Structure 1
């Protein structure tokens, strides 16, 4: 069995870096992926999904140094589901991607200029 996912999308926020008590680095960011399709009336539609990405240690440090909001990246990793009970007693569920590899496909300024609906005129 294998739990592997590869996502290509735009970074939605600046990476958030935290250090654990054991000294490990954890970096989190959000990633937007989109798909376009035609609805039953022939109109073009776009669906955007948001993914929580978590990077550890070396990968996390590299992400924190080189990734900014708007950059296009490719993330390879595994899906991890979590379940917890919040302070009000409500059971909550979550899903995140634990990154094992991250490739930089653009710098943030390039990504924003090339993103759909944000192209430069000319």
Structure 2
């Protein structure tokens, strides 16, 4: 039986992205989830203990996690919970909670975000459409552009041959054909 879990927390480290020898893309990070409770005697909100989870994601989800999720981000993770017992060389033992993620996203309680369909998923959807007899052309192409310091500055959107560069953070139109 598989236990499913949903965790709200904050990303504790930079996302690690790697590809196995078989070509499987994996992204992993840790999430800390701390329950807050109202203490009536102190008349204040207090933190309980923090639960720590190792999160692994695979394939397209792994690529998207590596692109979108950063250390300190508030996230919601759903997936399969796996509890793993361990013992180190010194004889110390413990238990680790691992989540094989089915979905990862920003927790919008803490801020805003914009959804952009990834180009790899769009290509797969277009290929499936061609197999079903739909037209081969995909009028919308989406690509990231980097600014001078290597950071993400905008999204180039090509719609029926025209192109717009939109600032990711503000949604401001930076350039158009």
| TM-score above 0.5, yes or no | yes
Where relative contact order (Cα < 8 A, 6+ residues apart) is larger, the structure is: 1
| 2:3 aligned counterpart, secondary structure | coil
Q: Judging changes above 3 Å, is the alpha-carbon distance between structure 1 residues 17 and 83 closer, same or farther for their aligned structure 2 residues?
A: same
2:66 to 64, 67, 75: 64
- TM-score norm. by structure 2 comes to 0.52
Q: Judging changes above 3 Å, is the alpha-carbon distance between structure 1 residues 20 and 33 closer, same or farther for their aligned structure 2 residues?
A: same
Residue deviations 1:64-101, cap 9 Å, x none? 01111121211110111234554556655422111011
- TM-score norm. by structure 1 comes to 0.71
Is it true that 1:32 corresponds to 2:46 in the alignment?
no
Q: Which has the larger radius of gyration?
A: 2
Kindly indicate whether the alpha-carbon contact (under 8 Å) linking 2:79 and 2:99 is maintained by their aligned counterparts in 1: yes
1:100 to 99, 102, 108: 102
Which ranges of structure 1 fall in alignment gaps of 5 or more residues? 111-122
Which runs of structure 2 are paired with 1:1-122 in the superposition (5 Å)? 1-38=1-38, 41-42=41-42, 44=44, 45-47=46-48, 48-84=50-86, 86-87=88-89, 93-105=95-107
Residue deviations 1:18-61, cap 9 Å, x none? 22121111111111212122458546420222221111111111
Q: Judging changes above 3 Å, is the alpha-carbon distance between structure 1 residues 85 and 23 closer, same or farther for their aligned structure 2 residues?
A: farther
- What's the C-alpha RMSD, in Å, of the aligned pairs? 2.8
| 1:58 aligned counterpart, secondary structure | helix
Q: Judging changes above 3 Å, is the alpha-carbon distance between structure 1 residues 8 and 84 closer, same or farther for their aligned structure 2 residues?
A: closer
CA–CA separation in structure 1 for the residues paired with 2:107 and 2:77: 10
| 1:63 aligned counterpart, secondary structure | helix
Q: Judging changes above 3 Å, is the alpha-carbon distance between structure 1 residues 16 and 109 closer, same or farther for their aligned structure 2 residues?
A: farther
